[in-house]
Structure 1
Amino acid sequence: MSDAITLRIYRAPSGQWSGKLVDSTGEEIGGIAGCESSQDVEQKAYDSGIYPDLIEVEAPK
């Protein structure tokens, strides 16, 4: 079993960008909210010391 971490970035209903950190089983292990852009979400993860193995960005609806 891999212990890879995925950062799933999406646009919240508020219009701001958010992200969920999930482990290889799909369990949420953390979150980031209230960002102006998808890049800001990614940067906040890095700033907190989390370096995801995979980043998925959901296209805005």
Structure 2
Amino acid sequence: MNQSNYVPICLSLLTVPFLCGLLVVESLRRELLELGQASEEVFRGDRLPILNFPEPSSNP
């Protein structure tokens, strides 16, 4: 077998892992975006409790 026959065989063998890798990267990207949006919702101001700080006393 000469070297010119290796190229099509290598391409056909690497196509499936490459496509699977693309699917994994896309799903990982989507999950990270959803995680970022969920964490943003946690830190919104209307969901945090109101902290009542005591007024500083004016005793000299």
> TM-score, normalization: structure 2?
0.22
> TM-score, normalization: structure 1?
0.21
Structure number having the greater strand percentage: 1
